[in-house]
Structure 1
Protein backbone atom coordinates (compact mmCIF):
# COMPACT_ATOMS: atom_id res chain seq x y z
CA UNK A 1 0.00 0.00 0.00
CA UNK A 2 1.42 3.37 -0.99
CA UNK A 3 1.89 6.23 1.46
CA UNK A 4 -0.90 8.15 -0.30
CA UNK A 5 -3.31 5.23 0.02
CA UNK A 6 -2.42 4.86 3.69
CA UNK A 7 -3.10 8.57 4.30
CA UNK A 8 -6.43 8.28 2.47
CA UNK A 9 -7.36 5.24 4.55
CA UNK A 10 -6.48 7.05 7.78
CA UNK A 11 -8.50 10.11 6.69
CA UNK A 12 -11.45 7.86 5.81
CA UNK A 13 -11.47 6.15 9.21
CA UNK A 14 -10.96 9.42 11.02
CA UNK A 15 -13.87 11.00 9.16
CA UNK A 16 -16.14 8.01 9.64
CA UNK A 17 -15.32 7.61 13.33
CA UNK A 18 -17.52 10.62 14.08
CA UNK A 19 -21.16 9.80 14.87
CA UNK A 20 -22.51 12.97 13.23
CA UNK A 21 -20.64 12.25 9.99
CA UNK A 22 -21.95 8.70 9.94
CA UNK A 23 -25.49 10.01 10.38
CA UNK A 24 -24.93 12.53 7.58
CA UNK A 25 -23.72 9.74 5.31
CA UNK A 26 -26.82 7.72 6.20
CA UNK A 27 -29.16 10.64 5.51
CA UNK A 28 -27.41 11.48 2.23
CA UNK A 29 -27.56 7.85 1.14
CA UNK A 30 -31.37 8.21 1.01
CA UNK A 31 -31.40 11.47 -1.00
CA UNK A 32 -29.68 14.83 -1.42
CA UNK A 33 -30.18 17.35 1.37
CA UNK A 34 -29.32 20.93 2.28
CA UNK A 35 -27.20 22.01 5.24
CA UNK A 36 -30.32 23.46 6.84
CA UNK A 37 -32.24 20.20 6.49
CA UNK A 38 -29.33 18.14 7.86
CA UNK A 39 -28.93 20.53 10.80
CA UNK A 40 -32.60 20.18 11.66
CA UNK A 41 -32.64 16.36 11.33
CA UNK A 42 -29.48 15.95 13.42
CA UNK A 43 -30.26 18.69 15.93
CA UNK A 44 -26.95 20.40 15.13
CA UNK A 45 -26.00 23.96 14.25
CA UNK A 46 -25.52 24.71 10.55
CA UNK A 47 -21.79 25.60 10.92
CA UNK A 48 -21.22 22.24 12.62
CA UNK A 49 -22.97 20.42 9.76
CA UNK A 50 -20.92 22.43 7.24
CA UNK A 51 -17.74 21.41 9.06
CA UNK A 52 -18.70 17.72 8.87
CA UNK A 53 -19.67 18.04 5.21
CA UNK A 54 -16.31 19.65 4.44
CA UNK A 55 -14.52 16.60 5.91
CA UNK A 56 -16.68 14.23 3.85
CA UNK A 57 -16.15 16.34 0.71
CA UNK A 58 -12.39 16.27 1.27
CA UNK A 59 -12.60 12.47 1.13
CA UNK A 60 -14.59 12.72 -2.09
CA UNK A 61 -17.60 10.80 -0.78
CA UNK A 62 -19.95 13.80 -0.62
CA UNK A 63 -20.67 16.15 -3.52
CA UNK A 64 -22.60 19.40 -3.67
CA UNK A 65 -24.45 21.42 -6.27
CA UNK A 66 -25.72 24.95 -6.12
CA UNK A 67 -29.34 25.80 -6.86
CA UNK A 68 -29.83 29.53 -6.44
CA UNK A 69 -28.65 30.39 -2.93
CA UNK A 70 -29.14 26.81 -1.70
CA UNK A 71 -26.46 24.10 -1.83
CA UNK A 72 -27.63 20.51 -2.09
CA UNK A 73 -25.38 17.69 -0.89
CA UNK A 74 -25.47 14.04 -1.86
CA UNK A 75 -23.50 10.90 -1.18
CA UNK A 76 -21.33 9.83 -4.11
CA UNK A 77 -21.99 6.10 -3.90
CA UNK A 78 -19.56 5.35 -6.74
CA UNK A 79 -16.72 7.18 -4.95
CA UNK A 80 -17.52 5.31 -1.74
CA UNK A 81 -17.51 1.98 -3.61
CA UNK A 82 -14.19 2.81 -5.31
CA UNK A 83 -12.66 3.74 -1.97
CA UNK A 84 -13.99 0.54 -0.46
CA UNK A 85 -12.46 -1.56 -3.23
CA UNK A 86 -9.15 0.27 -3.16
CA UNK A 87 -8.68 0.48 0.58
CA UNK A 88 -10.80 -2.05 2.39
CA UNK A 89 -10.26 -5.27 0.46
CA UNK A 90 -8.31 -7.85 2.48
CA UNK A 91 -5.20 -7.41 0.31
CA UNK A 92 -5.26 -3.65 0.89
CA UNK A 93 -5.82 -3.98 4.61
CA UNK A 94 -3.10 -6.61 4.91
CA UNK A 95 -0.69 -4.25 3.18
CA UNK A 96 -0.97 -1.68 5.97
CA UNK A 97 0.21 -4.02 8.67
CA UNK A 98 3.94 -3.98 9.24
CA UNK A 99 5.58 -7.14 8.13
CA UNK A 100 6.12 -9.15 11.25
CA UNK A 101 9.52 -10.74 11.25
CA UNK A 102 9.09 -14.48 11.39
CA UNK A 103 10.67 -16.50 14.15
CA UNK A 104 12.96 -18.11 11.56
CA UNK A 105 14.11 -14.69 10.32
CA UNK A 106 14.85 -13.64 13.90
CA UNK A 107 16.87 -16.80 14.45
CA UNK A 108 18.85 -16.22 11.27
CA UNK A 109 19.52 -12.59 12.14
CA UNK A 110 21.02 -13.78 15.42
CA UNK A 111 23.31 -16.37 13.86
CA UNK A 112 24.16 -14.95 10.43
CA UNK A 113 26.22 -11.77 10.06
CA UNK A 114 25.75 -8.99 7.49
CA UNK A 115 28.15 -10.72 5.11
CA UNK A 116 26.00 -13.86 5.12
CA UNK A 117 28.42 -15.91 7.22
CA UNK A 118 27.31 -18.17 10.03
CA UNK A 119 28.73 -16.76 13.29
CA UNK A 120 28.24 -19.95 15.30
CA UNK A 121 26.29 -23.20 14.94
CA UNK A 122 23.28 -22.94 17.28
CA UNK A 123 23.28 -25.32 20.23
CA UNK A 124 19.47 -25.36 20.38
CA UNK A 125 18.18 -28.16 18.16
CA UNK A 126 15.23 -26.07 16.95
CA UNK A 127 17.39 -23.07 16.05
CA UNK A 128 19.97 -25.33 14.44
CA UNK A 129 17.23 -26.75 12.18
CA UNK A 130 16.42 -23.20 11.00
CA UNK A 131 20.08 -22.50 10.20
CA UNK A 132 20.49 -25.86 8.49
CA UNK A 133 17.39 -25.27 6.33
CA UNK A 134 18.78 -21.86 5.36
CA UNK A 135 22.05 -23.54 4.39
CA UNK A 136 20.39 -26.49 2.59
CA UNK A 137 18.49 -24.07 0.33
CA UNK A 138 21.84 -23.18 -1.22
CA UNK A 139 21.81 -26.57 -2.91
CA UNK A 140 19.75 -26.91 -6.07
CA UNK A 141 16.95 -29.45 -6.35
CA UNK A 142 17.79 -32.36 -8.61
CA UNK A 143 21.50 -31.59 -8.79
CA UNK A 144 24.20 -34.00 -7.59
CA UNK A 145 27.22 -32.55 -5.78
CA UNK A 146 30.58 -34.19 -5.16
CA UNK A 147 31.72 -33.90 -1.53
CA UNK A 148 34.42 -31.35 -2.39
CA UNK A 149 31.80 -29.01 -3.88
CA UNK A 150 29.51 -29.46 -0.88
CA UNK A 151 32.41 -28.53 1.41
CA UNK A 152 33.22 -25.49 -0.74
CA UNK A 153 29.61 -24.21 -0.59
CA UNK A 154 29.40 -24.74 3.17
CA UNK A 155 32.83 -23.19 3.85
CA UNK A 156 31.68 -19.95 2.22
CA UNK A 157 29.23 -19.81 5.14
CA UNK A 158 31.16 -21.46 8.00
CA UNK A 159 34.52 -23.17 8.44
CA UNK A 160 33.11 -26.43 9.93
CA UNK A 161 31.79 -28.06 6.77
CA UNK A 162 32.02 -31.61 8.18
CA UNK A 163 29.66 -30.87 11.11
CA UNK A 164 27.19 -28.93 9.00
CA UNK A 165 27.21 -31.57 6.26
CA UNK A 166 26.53 -34.34 8.82
CA UNK A 167 23.79 -32.27 10.47
CA UNK A 168 22.01 -31.67 7.14
CA UNK A 169 22.10 -35.39 6.46
CA UNK A 170 20.82 -36.10 9.98
CA UNK A 171 17.94 -33.64 9.45
CA UNK A 172 17.11 -35.37 6.11
CA UNK A 173 17.91 -32.19 4.16
CA UNK A 174 20.73 -33.77 2.17
CA UNK A 175 21.28 -37.37 1.14
CA UNK A 176 24.65 -39.01 0.42
CA UNK A 177 25.77 -42.03 -1.53
CA UNK A 178 29.34 -42.87 -2.57
CA UNK A 179 30.60 -39.34 -1.91
CA UNK A 180 27.80 -37.70 -3.91
CA UNK A 181 25.23 -35.45 -2.20
CA UNK A 182 21.83 -34.12 -3.25
CA UNK A 183 19.11 -32.07 -1.64
CA UNK A 184 15.98 -33.87 -0.46
CA UNK A 185 12.44 -32.39 -0.77
CA UNK A 186 11.71 -29.78 1.91
CA UNK A 187 8.55 -31.55 3.06
CA UNK A 188 10.75 -34.45 4.21
CA UNK A 189 13.12 -32.31 6.28
CA UNK A 190 13.21 -32.95 10.03
CA UNK A 191 12.06 -29.90 11.98
CA UNK A 192 14.21 -29.38 15.06
Structure 2
Protein backbone atom coordinates (compact mmCIF):
# COMPACT_ATOMS: atom_id res chain seq x y z
CA UNK A 1 0.00 0.00 0.00
CA UNK A 2 2.87 2.39 0.77
CA UNK A 3 4.27 1.79 -2.71
CA UNK A 4 0.92 2.59 -4.29
CA UNK A 5 0.54 5.70 -2.12
CA UNK A 6 3.99 6.93 -3.18
CA UNK A 7 3.30 6.14 -6.84
CA UNK A 8 0.01 8.06 -6.75
CA UNK A 9 1.36 10.82 -4.51
CA UNK A 10 -1.37 10.16 -1.94
CA UNK A 11 -1.41 9.55 1.79
CA UNK A 12 -1.37 5.87 2.78
CA UNK A 13 -4.62 6.41 4.72
CA UNK A 14 -6.32 7.65 1.53
CA UNK A 15 -5.11 4.64 -0.44
CA UNK A 16 -6.17 2.32 2.38
CA UNK A 17 -9.65 3.85 2.39
CA UNK A 18 -10.08 3.41 -1.36
CA UNK A 19 -8.68 -0.12 -1.33
CA UNK A 20 -11.21 -0.99 1.38
CA UNK A 21 -14.02 0.39 -0.84
CA UNK A 22 -12.75 -1.57 -3.84
CA UNK A 23 -12.58 -4.67 -1.66
CA UNK A 24 -16.20 -4.13 -0.51
CA UNK A 25 -17.21 -3.88 -4.17
CA UNK A 26 -15.48 -7.19 -4.87
CA UNK A 27 -12.96 -5.65 -7.27
CA UNK A 28 -9.90 -6.10 -5.05
CA UNK A 29 -8.95 -8.87 -2.67
CA UNK A 30 -6.52 -8.63 0.22
CA UNK A 31 -4.38 -11.26 1.89
CA UNK A 32 -2.24 -10.77 4.95
CA UNK A 33 1.47 -11.27 4.53
CA UNK A 34 3.63 -10.71 7.62
CA UNK A 35 2.74 -7.21 8.87
CA UNK A 36 1.03 -5.90 5.73
CA UNK A 37 -1.71 -6.71 3.26
CA UNK A 38 -1.13 -7.71 -0.35
CA UNK A 39 -3.88 -6.49 -2.66
CA UNK A 40 -4.86 -8.13 -5.93
CA UNK A 41 -7.18 -6.85 -8.63
CA UNK A 42 -9.99 -9.24 -9.56
CA UNK A 43 -9.92 -8.74 -13.33
CA UNK A 44 -13.02 -10.86 -13.92
CA UNK A 45 -15.08 -8.83 -11.44
CA UNK A 46 -13.77 -5.60 -12.98
CA UNK A 47 -14.72 -6.77 -16.49
CA UNK A 48 -18.22 -7.81 -15.34
CA UNK A 49 -18.76 -4.51 -13.55
CA UNK A 50 -17.53 -2.58 -16.56
CA UNK A 51 -19.80 -4.58 -18.87
CA UNK A 52 -22.78 -3.91 -16.60
CA UNK A 53 -22.03 -0.18 -16.30
CA UNK A 54 -21.50 0.17 -20.02
CA UNK A 55 -24.52 -1.94 -20.95
CA UNK A 56 -26.93 -0.54 -23.49
CA UNK A 57 -29.59 0.04 -20.81
CA UNK A 58 -27.25 1.91 -18.47
CA UNK A 59 -25.78 3.99 -21.27
CA UNK A 60 -29.21 4.92 -22.62
CA UNK A 61 -30.19 6.17 -19.15
CA UNK A 62 -26.99 8.22 -18.95
CA UNK A 63 -27.54 9.56 -22.46
CA UNK A 64 -31.13 10.47 -21.60
CA UNK A 65 -29.94 12.45 -18.61
CA UNK A 66 -27.29 14.20 -20.71
CA UNK A 67 -29.96 15.18 -23.23
CA UNK A 68 -31.79 17.21 -20.63
CA UNK A 69 -31.11 20.88 -20.97
CA UNK A 70 -30.46 23.06 -17.93
CA UNK A 71 -34.06 24.27 -17.79
CA UNK A 72 -35.41 20.70 -17.76
CA UNK A 73 -32.94 19.71 -15.04
CA UNK A 74 -34.12 22.65 -12.93
CA UNK A 75 -37.77 21.69 -13.40
CA UNK A 76 -37.06 18.09 -12.42
CA UNK A 77 -35.06 19.25 -9.40
CA UNK A 78 -37.97 21.46 -8.33
CA UNK A 79 -40.67 18.83 -8.74
CA UNK A 80 -38.98 15.53 -7.85
CA UNK A 81 -37.61 14.06 -4.67
CA UNK A 82 -34.24 12.27 -4.61
CA UNK A 83 -36.07 8.91 -4.88
CA UNK A 84 -37.71 10.05 -8.15
CA UNK A 85 -41.21 10.57 -6.73
CA UNK A 86 -42.98 13.80 -7.58
CA UNK A 87 -43.41 16.41 -4.87
CA UNK A 88 -46.39 17.79 -6.81
CA UNK A 89 -47.71 17.59 -10.34
CA UNK A 90 -46.82 20.86 -12.09
CA UNK A 91 -49.75 23.10 -13.02
CA UNK A 92 -47.89 24.94 -15.77
CA UNK A 93 -48.03 23.05 -19.06
CA UNK A 94 -44.38 23.48 -20.01
CA UNK A 95 -43.16 22.18 -16.64
CA UNK A 96 -45.70 19.36 -16.72
CA UNK A 97 -44.36 18.24 -20.10
CA UNK A 98 -40.83 18.03 -18.69
CA UNK A 99 -42.09 15.84 -15.84
CA UNK A 100 -44.19 13.68 -18.18
CA UNK A 101 -41.17 13.07 -20.44
CA UNK A 102 -39.38 11.70 -17.38
CA UNK A 103 -42.35 9.59 -16.23
CA UNK A 104 -42.91 8.01 -19.66
CA UNK A 105 -39.42 6.47 -19.49
CA UNK A 106 -40.82 4.00 -16.94
CA UNK A 107 -42.77 2.35 -19.78
CA UNK A 108 -41.16 0.10 -22.39
CA UNK A 109 -41.84 1.01 -26.02
CA UNK A 110 -43.86 -1.68 -27.78
CA UNK A 111 -45.31 -3.10 -24.56
CA UNK A 112 -49.04 -2.97 -23.89
CA UNK A 113 -50.16 -2.35 -20.32
CA UNK A 114 -53.49 -2.81 -18.58
CA UNK A 115 -54.86 0.20 -16.72
CA UNK A 116 -53.94 -1.52 -13.46
CA UNK A 117 -50.33 -1.99 -14.61
CA UNK A 118 -50.15 1.65 -15.72
CA UNK A 119 -51.47 2.76 -12.33
CA UNK A 120 -48.92 0.59 -10.50
CA UNK A 121 -46.07 2.15 -12.47
CA UNK A 122 -47.43 5.69 -12.09
CA UNK A 123 -47.88 5.17 -8.33
CA UNK A 124 -44.08 5.05 -8.09
CA UNK A 125 -44.14 8.73 -9.08
CA UNK A 126 -47.31 10.12 -7.46
CA UNK A 127 -50.50 8.92 -5.81
CA UNK A 128 -52.71 10.77 -8.34
CA UNK A 129 -52.30 8.13 -11.03
CA UNK A 130 -55.47 9.19 -12.89
CA UNK A 131 -54.10 12.69 -13.55
CA UNK A 132 -50.71 11.36 -14.66
CA UNK A 133 -52.35 8.77 -16.93
CA UNK A 134 -54.72 11.35 -18.45
CA UNK A 135 -51.86 13.82 -19.01
CA UNK A 136 -49.63 11.18 -20.62
CA UNK A 137 -52.41 10.34 -23.08
CA UNK A 138 -53.29 14.01 -23.61
CA UNK A 139 -49.64 14.84 -24.35
CA UNK A 140 -49.47 12.03 -26.93
CA UNK A 141 -46.72 10.27 -24.98
CA UNK A 142 -49.05 7.33 -24.39
CA UNK A 143 -52.02 5.98 -26.32
CA UNK A 144 -54.93 3.91 -25.15
CA UNK A 145 -57.34 1.50 -26.70
CA UNK A 146 -60.94 2.73 -27.11
CA UNK A 147 -62.38 1.97 -23.68
CA UNK A 148 -59.09 2.43 -21.88
CA UNK A 149 -58.42 -1.30 -21.65
CA UNK A 150 -54.83 -1.16 -22.85
CA UNK A 151 -52.20 1.56 -22.87
CA UNK A 152 -48.84 1.79 -24.61
CA UNK A 153 -45.97 4.21 -24.89
CA UNK A 154 -45.72 6.12 -28.14
CA UNK A 155 -42.22 5.56 -29.52
TM-score scaled by length of structure 1: 0.43
Counterpart residue number, 1:133: 101
Counterpart residue number, 2:3: none
The within-5 A match list for 1:81-120 is 102-120=70-88
**Residue among 138, 141, 154 paired with 2:122:** 154
Residue 184 in structure 1 maps to residue 154 in structure 2: yes
What is the Cα-based RMSD across aligned positions, in Å?
1.4
Give the CA deviation at 1:101: 6.0
Gaps of 5+ in 2: 1-67
- CA distance in structure 2 between the partners assigned to 1:105 and 1:144 by the alignment: 29
The within-5 A match list for 1:1-192 is 102-177=70-145, 178=147, 179-185=149-155
Give the CA deviation at 1:117: 0.6
- CA distance in structure 1 between the partners assigned to 2:69 and 2:139 by the alignment: 24
Aligned-partner SS, 2:106: coil
Aligned-partner SS, 1:135: helix
- CA distance in structure 2 between the partners assigned to 1:173 and 1:115 by the alignment: 23
- CA distance in structure 2 between the partners assigned to 1:114 and 1:102 by the alignment: 18
